[in-house]
């Protein structure tokens, strides 16, 4: 397992800050017990930040060209038909994945294709599961178009703790399924918008892994 590139600065800042705090306590004669407790807490905090930026090596699943891979690690918290107002301006099936601070936070391309749309929006920092977070929070919308002209929209949403969304894509770029889309620092949410009637393979409360789990297929199902 490696550390994601987005974590290098945060880890250095954390390490330096904790080092300064411990150095001040030692310099001004804190008791041994206080020093030991502070060092233990510092180690725990550093490990928490370290695990947040972990970047595990995973083999990309090999589904057929219609399958949608999970773009993020986390728990499925919403499966519903809703109106997507930014790009499609019509009804879509939305699947939302909540990423807690203990999840891997890199995001990945759900399909092969071309980036048809990519736009960042500044906004609020409501808790990621709030119904209005997908339209009012800081977010970045990316739309993929595959070779058949089918489109999938991914929306990265900042949560109450997240303060930075990273998105590496520009309009017109060709991408490969499972490649890296971006990163969201600390708790957050990713929404996937698909055509109404799309067959989905997940249920509420299910935990999914990016690049590994097939969450849906673009073949329309009459029973979905």
Active site residues: 188
Residue with tokens 């990621």: 128
| 90-99 sheet: strands from edge to edge | 174-175, 113-121, 139-145, 151-158, 188-195, 90-99, 74-84, 207-208
- Say whether 126 sits in a helix, a strand or coil: coil
> In whole angstroms, what is the distance from residue 184 CA to residue 28 CA?
39
Q: Per-residue b/e over 17-40, b at no fewer than 16 CB within 10 Å?
A: ebeeebeebeeeeeeeeeeeebee
> In whole angstroms, what is the distance from residue 22 CA to residue 38 CA?
7
């Amino acid at each position: 397992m490696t550390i994601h590139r987005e974590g290098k600065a945060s880890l250095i800042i954390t390490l330096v800050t904790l080092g300064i705090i411990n150095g001040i306590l030692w310099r001004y004669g804190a008791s041994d017990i206080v020093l030991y407790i502070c060092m233990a807490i510092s180690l725990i905090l550093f490990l928490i930040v370290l695990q947040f930026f972990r970047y595990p090596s995973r083999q990309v699943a090999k589904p057929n060209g219609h399958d949608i891979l999970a773009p993020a690690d986390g728990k499925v918290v919403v499966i519903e038909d809703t109106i997507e107002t930014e790009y499609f301006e019509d009804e879509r099936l939305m699947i939302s994945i909540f990423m807690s601070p203990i999840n891997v936070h890199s995001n990945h391309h759900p399909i092969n294709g071309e980036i048809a749309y990519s736009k960042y929006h500044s906004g609020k920092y409501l808790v990621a599961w709030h119904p209005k977070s997908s339209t009012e929070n800081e977010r970045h919308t990316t739309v993929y178009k595959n070779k058949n002209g089918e489109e999938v929209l991914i929306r990265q949403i900042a949560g109450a703790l997240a303060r930075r969304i990273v998105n590496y894509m520009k309009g017109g770029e060709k991408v490969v399924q499972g490649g890296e889309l971006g990163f969201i620092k600390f708790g957050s949410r990713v929404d996937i918008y698909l055509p109404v009637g799309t067959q989905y393979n997940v249920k509420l409360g299910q935990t999914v892994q990016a690049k590994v789990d097939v969450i849906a297929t673009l073949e329309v199902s009459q029973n979905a």
